[in-house]
Structure 1
Amino acid sequence: MALIDEVKQVCDRLAPQGWRDLLLQHGLDITATDLQQELVKELPTIDRNLPGFTDFAVNGIRGIEPGSPARSLLYHALASSAVHPTSGAATNTEVYPTLAELDVIENYIYSLANRSLADFPNAVIAVFAYQYRIAARSPHGIHADMAFSRTGVARVGTEVANYSAARRSFWVESKNDHDRLAVMPARYAAFLAVERRPSTDDAILEEQPSDRTRRFLFPVHKLFPGDECLRDVNITLEFLEYHRNEKLQRVHTHGGIPVLSGFDINKPPFVRDSRNSSDLVQLQSVNASVLLVPQPTPQLVHTVTQRNSITNREEIVRFRVPPENFNNRFWTSYQIAANGRGREAPEYVNMRHLVETSATGEQKLVDLNQAIASEDEFLRVLAEGNYEAAHFSDNSCDGCISVRVNGLSEIAVRSAYSLVTAPDFFPLADQIAIEHWADNFLPTLRDQFSQGGPSPLSEGRQPPNPDLPLPDSETKAFQRNETAIAAIVGTAPRTTNSPVASQLNSLVSFLPDAASNVFAPGWDVSLGQDSQGNFYAAYGLGSPFPEDAKLCAALNSYWPAVAPDAARTFGILSAPTALPLLDDELGYHLQHPRVKAGEVQSQLGWDGEYGPFFEDFDGLFVNFANKDRSDYISNALAGQIRVSELAQVDSAEIIRRMEALRFCIRVLPPNDTVSTTQLLLVSAEIADWSSRGDRAQPTLQGFGYLYVFATVQGSEQITHDVRRKRIRVRNRFTCQITQNTLCWQQDDGEFRCEVNEPI
């Protein structure tokens, strides 16, 4: 079937769903008898005042502009997450194009360029992860456009992928159960690309100072099957993948922990890859593009077994915990120290689940967090070690995606780097948006974040894991000089116009600007190391990843656009809350005052824990989770790790909460900074002060927050529940906040009001 006929099928299906009427307002009739002519004619008027079209390229004048998706009105309408055919359409998947239909339109756009291979001298075939984005998120920021990266970031989950057609992207909540995490695929396609140093006209998202000396791959023409892609050639495509999870193996080979007798660390589950395991990822064809789809698991983590060669029994894979020394513990996690900047093994390993083996070989998993009542005994057992702790596996991995292009076999192929990593708990927030706020409004990054920060992976300039082979050979997939592989590039905007008004962002990204860069080690990827230098690798993350996630979350939202901030859940004062989560997001304990008053129901928070609260216990105390007993692996096994509480929190809301926090900390005594304050945020709620009877003064109007802080004294005490602690309150500070006004009260004193002055 000719491509124009496929395009006609797409238009015929969508026309009665509101798309014909919408596009007729621009003078484009997608039901025209001669659709091919209709699509390439110059349109008399394009109404850029219509919702979703304000960021359509100003030099776009046709339904289809040959070779340019961004200047093709039909493609912009169907692919932009800001365009909807009718009001209320977002709830009806059927009225939107599928990914396969968008792929058809892309192929047709490139087919009309009528190019031959000779038009692309020195081209290579390269695999890119790519998305069509609103202007504010495009590589050049001028109009809506394609964004390309040679790195894609897919995410693990417990349910099959959930495509949200209105968003034109996948969504993190399961379609059938919002408390379950859907896997998040990444989309790739093959392009002819040119490798060169960038010019001043090239679009690189957040270009780095050293980029002018680096070599980048820039896509110039999409490849798709058939004889309409390039003149005088008929091509076919076959995508291939290789992915590897080797964290358990590296705990032993590079982490210094001896292997228990009878286990073979060169076999699954110690090392799992595409050649010995089919449960990590799958490739799913989408016409000429492909989805890399992580395989869902019933729980985010699970125990794994191997037949022991000595006992000849299938046994839980486990390790003997070494005794504590000066550098192998972080709280109650086993820590593998790095040797230099990079890592050669997971930084943290869960060690709180004992494997009991009976004389008959029966095995039982014992959660030490619950099994040992005495806090002193619990900490002593963990410190002394010498017990067998379960290894846990997850489906995080890294790898490559390559392609065979029959018909162009003489051209070199460059693979894409593929990360399959932890869930993104803020799918509508990107690292780069928080970084812009920090750059523009913070005196220094450390003024807000005592640790970590909003550095996106797209700004990183490290090569990918050099040990990864190509899918169909032992040849290495990547070279050490491919240091721009995580960058996001675009096509030149072909206009010098100023950026246009942007659109509401609802697209969920699988490109590296929505992922975290590496510190120690990261949330999405770690910095690996060998004798030749550093590189990106998945194996430096926690084993399993929730072990690392707990520590990132507890340390003031180490990665603020993917990692929730659980510092106040655990009463952490050494790394104070930087990104306030609300009480209902952190969870209401049964003894929470609002639960006891019947105002709310008790519920676990996003991480399976309960947030802090004030309690009367021979005086006023703050009750909070015990960081030593909290175990995200236990919570994941119980299905208590959820994203539904946080999924709708976007970048703007994160920034509003942080600005409100900064306002409070600046005004409350002793007027210090967010990162150094000794004020413990105990309660945080959204408030509409226009309708609340408890507001401090009538002029307090509109949307805002209610934050309640405490200063504390004395030492932490264990409660009757070993998972909770309490500490005595010295003073309580109640803050009623709007964008411009803060009214605050110390204990039960008078409210004082302050106006928010620009910093």
Structure 2
Amino acid sequence: MALIDQVQQVCDRLALQGWRDLLLHHGLDITATDLQRELTKELSTIDRNLPGFTDFAADGIRGIEPGSPARSLLYHALASSAVHSVNNNSEAYPTLAELDVIENYIYSLANRSLADFPNAVIAVFAYQYRIAARSPHGIHADMAFSRTGVARVGTEVANYSAARRSFWVESDDGDRLAVMPARYAAFLAVERRPSIDDAILEEQSGDRTRQFLFPVHKLFPGDECLRDANITLEFLEYHRNEKLQRVHTRGGIPVLSGFDINKPPFVRDSHNSRDLVQLQSVNASVLLVPQPTPQLVYTSTQRNSVTGRDEIVRFQVPPENFNNRFWTSYQIAANGRGREAPEYVNMRHLVATSATGEQRLVDLNQEIASEDEFLRFLADGNYEAAHFSDNSCDGCISVKVNGLARNLAVRPAYSLVTAPDFFPLADQIAIERWVDNFLPTLRDQFSQGGPSPLSEGRQPPNPELLLPNSNAKAFQRNETAIAAIVSTAPRNTNPVASQLDSLVSFLPDAASNVFAPGWDVSLGQDNQGNFYAAYGLGSPFPEDAKLCAALNSFWPAVAPDAARTFGILSAPTALPLLDSELGYYPQHPRVKAAEVTSQKGWDGEYGPFFEDFDGLFVNFANKDRSDYISNALAGQIRVSGLAQVDSRELIQRMEALHFCIRVLPPNDTVSTTQLILVCAEKIADWSSRSDRAQSTLQGSGYLYVFATVQGSEQLTRDVRRKRLRVRNRFTCQITQDTLCWQQDDSEFRCVVNEPI
């Protein structure tokens, strides 16, 4: 079927869903008898004041502009997450396959031949159409391309949200984590240093001397892609998870007798396992889809050659020394800047084997009631702890293209399959720009980490990854710009107004850059240098997710801040989560007053609260007993409480926190304060609250209650909780302009917010 006929089918279906009427506002009739002529005619009545069209390219004048999706009104209307049909249901929006058809038609009308691209290579890109504010140049809505894609693991099948034009992190029932695919396509591309016609999202120092691949023409099957060519495409993938193997080969832990660490589950790749990822065709493009698992982590078995039985893979925990523990996690120290093995390994689940060979998993958090005995048992080691598997991995997406007049080199994309993004609507670059514009220094807010997106990293990908069905290496060490996001720079240099955006990204600006060890990818190392690799993350990944979250949110646009959950004084909360997001313990005062119901937070833990116990205390989770692996096994790690929190809301919370810490004694910084944020609530309108400090406190804001503490941590009857005695309590009622605060039960004092 000719492409125009496929486009006709798309238009016919969507015309009945309100798109005909919407596009007629711009003088485009998608039900015209001669659709090709209608789509290529010049439009004189494009209304850029209509919602969703304010960021349509200023020089876009047709329904289809040959070779340019961003200047094609039809494509913008159907692909932009800011444009919506009057019929608000999933059937009213284009599918990914239908968008792919429109893309192919746009490139077909360019009427190019391979000879028009004398220096081209074939490259695979992850790509996405974005509103102006998130495009690489920031001028108008446009395609964003990267040679790195970021898919995410989950416990449920992928959930495409048509109105968002992207996948959504929650399952349909909102209770489980859906896997998040990444979309790729093959393009003719040119490798060069950036010119004035190229845009790089958040260009980095030295980029003008680096080599980047820029896509110039999409490849799709058939004889309409290029003149005098009838091509076919076949996408291929190779992915590898080798964390368990590296715990032994690079982590220094001996292998238990009878286990083969060169076989699954110690090492799993596309040559020996099909349970990591799958490729799913979307017309001429492809989705890399992680395979869902019942739990985010799980135990695995291997036939033990000594006993002849299938046994839970495990390791003997070495005794504690000066550098192999972090809290109650086993720590593998780095040798230099990068990592050669997972930094943290869960060691709190013992594998008990009976005389008959039957095995059971023993959660030491639950088994050992005495805190001293628990910590001593972990320190002594010499017990067998379960290895846990997860489906995080890295790899490559490549393509075979047949039918071209000459052979071209193929450059694969780097593919990450990583941890869930708990803030899918938060734009990490927006938070980074807030840091640059609002804070004197990054360290005023974040004692560790910060909003550095992977797209700003300039490291090569894992050099040990193989091409699919091959023993050849997929990447070269000079490919340092592989995580960058690029596009063509527009001639128009007048930015348009920003818009609300519900698009969820799978490009590297939605992932964290590397740091101790990282949330999405780690910094690998060998004797030739550093590179990106997935194997430096925790084994399994929730093990270091707990530590990242507990240490003031290393990655504020993907990792929730759980510092106040655990009462961490050394890395104070930088990004406040609300009490409802951290969870209400059964003895929380609001639960006891029947104001709220007890519920666990996003991570399966409960948040902090004030407790009357022979005086006033802060009650918080015991960091040594908290176990995200146990919580994941119980299905208690959820994104539902956080998924709707966008970057604007995160920034407002951080500004409110900054306001409080600047005013409360001793007028400290967020990253160094000794104030513990105990309670945090969002207030829709202070004027409706009978407890507000003064009548001028109006509009939305927050209620933050802080404490200073004294003495040492005390145990509670619940081994998963601890408490600290309160010295002083500070209650803060906050709006954007005003802070009213009181110390203990004194009178409220009110101050007006002043620019820093």
Deviation at residue 201 of structure 1 after TM alignment? 2.6
Deviation at 1:430, TM superposition (A): 2.2
Q: Secondary structure at the match of 2:78?
A: helix
Deviation at 1:757, TM superposition (A): 0.2
Q: Distance in 1 between matches of 2:370 and 2:464?
A: 46
Q: Structure 2 CA distance, aligned partners of 1:105 and 1:283?
A: 21
Gaps of 5+ in 2: none
Kindly indicate whether the alpha-carbon contact (under 8 Å) linking 2:581 and 2:601 is maintained by their aligned counterparts in 1: yes
Q: CA deviation at 1:640?
A: 0.0
Name the SS for the 1:569 alignment partner. coil
Find 2:372's aligned residue among 369, 376, 384: 376
TM-score, length-normalised on structure 2?
A: 0.99
Q: Deviations over 1:427-486 (max 9, x none)?
A: 001221111111111111111000111000000000000000100211100000000000
1:516 paired to 2:517 = no
Asked if the contact 2:54–2:497 (Cα under 8 Å) also holds between the matched residues in 1, the reply is: yes
Residue 39 (structure 1) aligned with residue 36 (structure 2): no
Deviates more, 1:585-594 or 1:682-691: 682-691
Report if aligned partners of 1:430, 1:515 keep a CA contact under 8 Å in 2: no
Describe the superposition over 1:216-248 as per-residue Cα deviations: whole angstroms up to 9, x where unpaired: 000000000000000000000000000000000
Post-superposition CA distance 1:676-715 (Å, at most 9, x none): 0000000000342021111000010000000000000111
Q: Report SS of the residue matched to 1:736.
A: strand
- CA distance in 2 between counterparts of 1:491 and 1:273 reads 36
CA contact (8 A) 2:123 2:410 kept: yes
SS in 1 for 2:730: strand
1:16 Cα deviation (Å)?
1.1
* Aligned sequence identity (%): 90
1:490-538 deviation per Cα after TM superposition (whole angstroms, max 9, x unaligned): 01213233x0112211000000001000011100000000010000000
Alignment equivalent of 1:643, drawn from 639, 642, 655: 639
Does the 8 A contact of 2:600 with 2:606 survive in 1? Answer: yes
Secondary structure in structure 2 of the residue aligned to 1:18 = helix
C-alpha distance after superposition, 1:195-231 (max 9, x if no partner): 0011123100011111111100000000000000000
Helix, strand or coil: the match of 2:688?
A: coil
What's the C-alpha RMSD, in Å, of the aligned pairs? Answer: 0.7
User: Residue by residue, what CA displacement relative to the aligned partner does 1:338-357 show, whole Å, maximum 9, x if unpaired?
Assistant: 00010000000000000000
Answer whether contact 1:152 1:512 (CA < 8 A) is retained.
yes
Give the conservation status (yes or no) of the 8 Å contact 1:11–1:30. Answer: yes
Which of 293, 314, 322 aligns to 1:326? It is 322
- Measured after TM superposition, the shift of residue 178 of structure 1 is 1.1
Paired with 2:306 and 2:68, the residues of 1 have a C-alpha distance of 63
The 1:490/1:29 distance shift into structure 2, 3 A limit, reads same
Mapped contact 2:160–2:166 kept (Cα < 8 A):
yes
Distance in 1 (alpha carbons) for counterparts of 2:661 and 2:109:
59
Aligned length, in residue pairs:
754
Whether the 8 Å contact between 2:69 and 2:75 is mirrored in structure 1 is: yes
Instruction: Give the Å deviation of 1:408.
Output: 2.5
Q: Distance in 1 between matches of 2:178 and 2:493?
A: 41
Q: Partners in 2 of 1:450 and 1:496 — Cα distance? A: 37
- Secondary structure of the equivalent of 1:615? strand
The secondary structure found in structure 1 opposite 2:432 is: helix
For residues 580 and 132 of structure 1, what CA distance do their matches in structure 2 show? Answer: 31
Query: Would the aligned equivalents of 2:692 and 2:733 in 1 still touch at CA under 8 Å?
Result: yes
Task: Write the deviation string for residues 623-642 of structure 1: whole angstroms up to 9, x where unpaired.
Answer: 00000000000000000000
Shift of 1:614: 0.4
Q: Mean alpha-carbon deviation: is it higher for 429-438 or for 592-601?
A: 429-438
Are the counterparts in 1 of residues 136 and 486 from structure 2 also a CA contact under 8 Å? yes
Separation of aligned partners in 2, 1:683 and 1:62: 54
Q: Does the 8 A contact of 1:344 with 1:540 survive in 2?
A: yes
Give the whole-Å Cα distance in 2 for the aligned partners of 1:384 and 1:185: 43
- The CA deviation at 1:586 is 0.1
Tell me the TM-score normalised to structure 1 length: 0.99
Q: C-alpha distance in 1, partners of 2:347/2:291?
A: 26
Contact 1:40 1:64 in 2 (8 A): yes
Please report how far the alpha carbon of residue 722 of structure 1 lies from its aligned counterpart in structure 2 after TM superposition.
Answer: 0.1
> Do the aligned partners of 2:316 and 2:382 also contact (CA within 8 Å) in 1?
yes
Q: Distance in 1 between matches of 2:384 and 2:173?
A: 36
Partner of 1:96: 93
Secondary structure at the aligned position of 2:223 is classed as coil
| Equivalent residue runs for 1:116-265 within 5 Å | 116-174=113-171, 176-265=172-261
Deviations 1:650-678 (A, max 9, x none): 00000000000000000000000000000
How far is the alpha carbon of 1:645 from its aligned partner? 0.3
Tell me, in whole angstroms, the C-alpha distance in 2 between the residues paired with 1:586 and 1:748: 26
Aligned-partner Cα distance in 1 for 2:366–2:724: 22
SS in 1 for 2:629: helix
1:701 maps to 698
Partner of 1:401: 397
8 Å Cα contact 2:242-2:266 kept in structure 1: yes
Give 1:568 deviation, angstroms. Answer: 0.2
Matched position secondary structure for 1:166: helix
Segments of 4+ moved more than 2 angstroms: 494-497
Q: Which residue of 1 aligns with 2:623?
A: 627
Name the structure 2 match of 1:496: 493
Which moves more between the two structures, 193-202 or 586-595? 193-202
CA distance in 2, matches of 1:567, 1:109: 50
Answer yes or no: is the 8 Å Cα contact 2:716–2:722 preserved in 1: yes
What is the alpha-carbon distance in structure 2 between the residues aligned to residue 744 and residue 675 of structure 1? 20
| Counterparts of 1:171 and 1:525, CA distance in 2 | 21
- 8 A Cα contact 1:468 1:476, kept in partner: yes
Does residue 108 of the first structure (1) align with residue 105 of the second (2)?
yes
Q: Is the 8 A contact 1:353 1:365 kept in 2?
A: yes
Does structure 2 retain, via aligned residues, the 8 Å contact 1:556–1:576? yes
Q: C-alpha separation between the residues in 1 aligned to 2:501 and 2:553?
A: 23
Contact 1:185 1:510 in 2 (8 A): yes
Moved more, 646-655 or 431-440: 431-440
For residue 86 of structure 1, report the CA deviation from its aligned partner.
1.2
Contact 1:592 1:613 in 2 (8 A): yes
Q: Deviations over 1:259-308 (max 9, x none)?
A: 00000000000000011111000000000000000000000000010000
CA distance, structure 1, for counterparts of residue 737 and residue 429 of structure 2: 26
8 A Cα contact 1:140 1:204, kept in partner: yes
Note if contact 2:271-2:469 (Cα within 8 Å) is conserved in structure 1.
no
Question: Does 314-323 or 78-87 show the bigger shift?
Answer: 78-87
The CA distance in 2 between the partners of 1:381 and 1:452, in whole Å, is: 32
For residues 631 and 571 of structure 2, what CA distance do their matches in structure 1 show? Answer: 23
Partner of 1:660: helix, strand, or coil?
A: helix
CA offsets per residue over residues 395-428 of structure 1, 9 Å max, x none? 0000000000011381110000000000000000
**3-state SS of paired residue (1:623):** strand
Aligned-pair CA distance for 1:728: 0.4
Aligned partner (choices 284, 300, 306) of residue 304 of structure 1: 300
Q: Secondary structure at the match of 1:535?
A: strand
- Cα distance per residue 1:64-122 (max 9 Å; x no partner): 000000000000000000000117xxx51000000000000000000000000011111
Contact 2:196 2:489 in 1 (8 A): no
Cα deviation, 1:308-360, whole Å, max 9, x if unaligned, reads: 00000000000000000000000000000000010000000000000000000
Distance 1:152 1:494 in 2: 28
SS of the aligned residue for 2:164 comes to coil
Superposed, 1:333-732 pairs within 5 Å as 333-408=329-404, 410-497=407-494, 499-685=495-681, 686-732=683-729
Contact 1:687 1:706 in 2 (8 A): no
